[in-house]
Amino acid sequence: EAQVTQNPRYLITVTGKKLTVTCSQNMNHEYMSWYRQDPGLGLRQIYYSMNVEVTDKGDVPEGYKVSRKEKRNFPLILESPSPNQTSLYFCASNPTGNRPYEQYFGPGTRLTVT
Amino acid sequence: AQSVAQPEDQVNVAEGNPLTVKCTYSVSGNPYLFWYVQYPNRGLQFLLKYITGDNLVKGSYGFEAEFNKSQTSFHLKKPSALVSDSALYFCAVSPSFRQAGTALIFGKGTTLSVSS
């Protein structure tokens, strides 16, 4: 089954404790992206990757890091989480960032930082 | 600034009645427009998109949307609502497919509630 998976689905952590949210897709997509969803704000892009070893900032990159060492994986790293990073996070992929394909979304990771 | 507006936070309709979820956009160039649906505790699911061609686009689950360039709108419609259509709906726009890494710009979402 073609899908985007994320782990963990739920995470409660404390301020300053480094964490990684994994994202993996099995569709051989070139383009992957991370969004955060906050009430009343819709989804906002954090980082994206056009292909392996190619990453760039989205609209709200502060406090986040990413890497793209393999085509299928695109982990989101919070080196020192803060309460304002409490949010619902979605990973997404599509075949390429150069065409208006629809994006495939993972199930989401709900992060709470206390 | 490029943006997407969904003017209604919530739309309430009775089962069997037609529904409309509104979306307007402001982007430069030719827009590529999308509708996504989010069910509780689930990721976003693609419903339909407009790239070019016929202004009336048909998508999943009986939904359709009409692209109106003069009104810069892309309203989502369904002739007969189902209780199972109750969900959060997002309109999104891709400003230009030629811009590498172009993110989807999302509206804030509209909660659709269909009563039986």
pLDDT in tens, B70-87: 999 999 999 999 999 999
Q: Do B103 and A33 touch (CB under 8 A)?
A: yes
In this predicted structure, what is the pLDDT of residue A101? Answer: 75
**Of the candidates B8, B4, B19, the residue with the CA atom closest to the CA atom of residue B85:** B19
Q: Please say whether the beta carbons of A112 and A95 come within 8 A.
A: no
Strands B73-78 and B64-68: antiparallel
> Is there a contact between B104 and A100 (Cβ–Cβ < 8 Å)?
no
Q: What is the pLDDT of residue B29?
A: 77
Tell whether the model's pLDDT for residue B98 goes beyond 90.
no
* Pairing label, strands A76-78, A4-7: unpaired
In chain A, residues with a C-beta closer than 8 Å to the C-beta of B94 are 100
Query: Mutate which of A21, A88, A103, A110 to disrupt the B interface (most B C-beta within 10 Å)?
Result: A103
SS3 content of chain B, % helix, strand, coil (to 5): 5, 50, 45
What are the pLDDT digits (tens) for A54-113? 999 988 999 999 999 999 999 999 999 999 999 999 999 988 776 767 889 999 999 999
**Statement: residue B42 has pLDDT above 60:** yes
SS3 content of chain A, % helix, strand, coil (to 5): 5, 50, 45
Among A88, A89, A86, A91, smallest CA distance to A105 is for A91
The region of weakest confidence among A7-21, A26-40, A76-90 is A26-40
Secondary structure letter of residue A65 according to DSSP: E
Instruction: Say which range, A48-57, B11-20, B80-89, B98-107, has the weakest mean pLDDT.
Output: B98-107
* Lookup: tokens for A53: 């070893």
Over residues A19-36, mean pLDDT: 95
Q: Report which of residues B1 and B83 the model is more confident about.
A: B83
Are residues B56 and B89 in contact, defined by beta-carbon separation less than 8 angstroms?
no
Which residues of A lie inside 8 Å of B (Cβ-Cβ)? 4, 31, 33, 35, 40-45, 48, 50, 56, 58-59, 90, 92, 97-100, 102-108
Could you tell me how many CB contacts below 8 A there are between chain A and chain B?
A: 60
Average pLDDT, stretch A22-33?
A: 94
CA triple A71-A111-B3, angle to 5 deg:
70
pLDDT at B101: 53
A106 with B43: Cβ contact below 8 A = yes
Nearest CA of chain B to the CA of A14: how many Å?
Answer: 23
Q: Across-strand partners of B68?
A: B73
Given a cut of 90, is residue B94 above it in pLDDT?
A: no
pLDDT above 90: percentage of residues in chain B:
72
Please tell me the distance in Å from A77's CA to the nearest CA on chain B: 20
Chain B positions touching chain A (beta carbons under 8 Å): 4, 32, 34, 36, 41-46, 49, 51, 90, 92, 94, 97-98, 100-104, 106-109
In this structure, which amino acid lies at residue A43? L
